[in-house]
Amino acid sequence: MMRKFLVLILCLVFGSLQLQAQVNPIKIEEKKANNRITFYAVNKTFTPYDVLFEVKGKNFRQSAARPRWIHVPATSRVNLKTVILFRDKQPVFTKSLKVNDSLSRRALKKEYEKLDVPLPKIKPKKQITIYSTTDCATCDSIVSKLTVDNYLFRNILLSEQPEVKEQLGKFLAKSPEAMDSISNPIISLGGKLYSWIASYEQLQEELNRE
């Protein structure tokens, strides 16, 4: 019984350490050129961090100054350190990295390269599906604003999905011809259909309604 308990504890500890390693927001990149290795902190998140980076080993030379916390802005790449390699020697080193989201005024602020990282998609409270027609200006407006605001949603053009158009026509008691001329989109929010929503503001109201 005690052995099973210890195994369970070890699994939990190992799983926790593994999870921490996976979620580290800062990645270290190495770039070797001539007799130098440059280490960069790469932050592809939208949160700034301070990092403390150290390199220890042999067959290279580095600054004797004490390592300092360095500020790494959101979506950026920062040069942390450059080491000079000894000629005809293979460098052997270990790296350590500490990351802190509590930013300090004392952290060293260096020049950085801004990364082109796309904004994360917004997952709405209710799944959004827009059923639109070719000539529906309201449909285009709502779809455009959902796209600009980076929402996750589906947009189904009824002219390309005749079987879906037929099913929706039965629900709305409209003929296929009438479905081609609807002025508002048919919108599904969490599986519930709406045929009266005519603006992005109305969509937001229904989307946030409990």
DSSP letter assigned to residue 126: S
**Facing residues of 186 across strands?**
131
60-74, 164-178, 186-200: the lowest-pLDDT one: 164-178
Ranges for all domains in the chain classified under CATH 3.40.30.10: 128-207
Work out the percent of the chain whose per-residue pLDDT is above 70: 88
pTM over 0.75? The answer is: no
- How do strand 108-109 and strand 69-72 relate by DSSP bridges? parallel
| Residue among 139, 114, 122 nearest 198 (CA) | 139
H/E stretch holding 15 reads helix 2-22
* CATH number assigned to the domain with residue range 26-114, chosen from the 4 options 2.60.40.10, 3.20.20.80, 3.40.1280.30, 2.40.37.10: 2.60.40.10
pLDDT tens figures, 68-80? 999 999 999 999 9
Res 167: pLDDT? 86
Domain 128-207 has CATH 3.40.30.10: yes
Positions of CATH 2.60.40.10 in the chain: 26-114
Nearest alpha-carbon partner for 30 in 81, 92, 98, 84? 81
What tens digit of pLDDT does each residue of 5-55 get? 433 433 444 443 343 444 689 999 999 998 999 999 999 999 999 999 999
Burial class (CB in 10 A: 0-12, 13-18, 19+), 69: middle
